Amino acid sequence: MNKAKVEHTSASAPFTAYSRYYDLLYQDKDYPAEAAYIHDVLQRHGVKHGDLLEFGSGTGKHGRLLSLLGYRVHGIERSREMVSQALQTEGFTCEAGDICSVRLARTFDAVLSLFHVVSYQVTNAAATAVFARAAEHLEAGGLFVFDIWYSPAVYHSRPEVRVKRMANASVEVLRIAEPIVYPNEDRVDVAYNVFVTDLVTKSVETVTEVHGMRHFSLPELDLLGAMNGFERIGAEAFLTGAAPSEETWGVCVVMRKI
């Protein structure tokens, strides 16, 4: 007999309740390999060390790893829950803020935005604002490095329902992700239903969040870049470096401030 009982249900804004289980849900994500890849991308484009501004720094995984590779990283993150979880160290700091409006009155060697943060900017106004804020925090020659959902792959592969199950010593987390496609807005709303079972009491908490995701084509990004003083100097499959194709869901883009 199933003894599970639903104790608490919440529908919340993106990265509020969900953020409590973020690191567990992504414990299979290879952050060290990703940090090494970003280090390589930066080096290939002339940034070998220095100060990085990370847009949407989440729980600080990339930032801390990049600090171990010799950078000083400062993160801006909208979710206060994520900021409170982020372990700040000498080389990595972060603060709560919105990357559409942040103004730190200083510049960095590069601005990073990793794991689809730019795709969370679903409107033209928000996407343009992020590019403008990136430009304001760079000198001429500085880099804006980010990854996005790539339109050709989204059209080709079509988003589908996905189920993910992860566990630690105290909870099991089951996440169902259901996409709703808005083809005229280049947007996919991903409805996350997360069922969290306490392994001792067997009580179940459910968390519901809808994450709106924008996908981009390269000409569209070039236009956004040009409007904000950038030229694109790279675009490749995230991690592998292959040429972007219909199979490439996540594309890493490198823009240089003119």
Ligand X SMILES: C[S@@+](CC[C@H](N)C(=O)[O-])C[C@H]1O[C@@H](n2cnc3c(N)ncnc32)[C@H](O)[C@@H]1O
CB nearer to ligand X: pick between 30 and 231 = 30
Q: Is 120 in the site for ligand X (CB under 6 A)?
A: yes
Q: Is 212 in the site for ligand X (CB under 6 A)?
A: no
Q: Is 78 in the site for ligand X (CB under 6 A)?
A: yes
250-257 and 138-150: which strand pairing? Answer: antiparallel
5-11 and 203-216: which strand pairing? Answer: parallel
Backbone dihedral angles phi then psi of residue 237, each to the nearest 5 degrees: -60, 130
Neighbouring-strand partners of residue 209: 192
Q: Is 117 in the site for ligand X (CB under 6 A)?
A: yes
Stretch that binds ligand X, among 73-81, 84-92, 183-191, 214-222 (CB under 6 A): 73-81
Candidate list 17, 18, 38, 79; residue touching ligand X; CB under 6 A: 79
Candidate list 39, 74, 116, 215; residue touching ligand X; CB under 6 A: 116
Query: CB 140 → ligand X: shortest distance, Å?
Result: 25
Q: Give the SS3 label for residue 177.
A: strand
Backbone dihedral angles phi then psi of residue 68, each to the nearest 5 degrees: -70, -20
Provide the residue type at 158 as one letter. Answer: R
Q: With beta carbons less than 8 A apart as the criterion, state whether 143 and 45 touch.
A: yes
Query: CB 104 → ligand X: shortest distance, Å?
Result: 13
Per-residue contact track with ligand X, 140 to 169, x per CB under 6 A?
------------------------------
CA distance 104 to 245: 36
> Cβ-count burial of 73 within 10 angstroms (0-12 exposed, 13-18 middle, 19+ buried)?
buried
In the chain, the largest separation of any two C-alpha atoms, in whole Å, equals 65
Neighbouring-strand partners of residue 158: none
Tokens of 47: 């940034």
Query: CB 21 → ligand X: shortest distance, Å?
Result: 13
Query: CB 18 → ligand X: shortest distance, Å?
Result: 9
Residues 42-71 that bind ligand X (CB under 6 A): 56-58, 61-62
Candidate list 114, 143, 194, 221; residue touching ligand X; CB under 6 A: 114
CB nearer to ligand X: pick between 89 and 201 = 89
Q: Is 136 in the site for ligand X (CB under 6 A)?
A: no
- Residues in contact with ligand X by the rule CB under 6 A: 15, 56-58, 61-62, 76-79, 82, 98-100, 114-117, 120
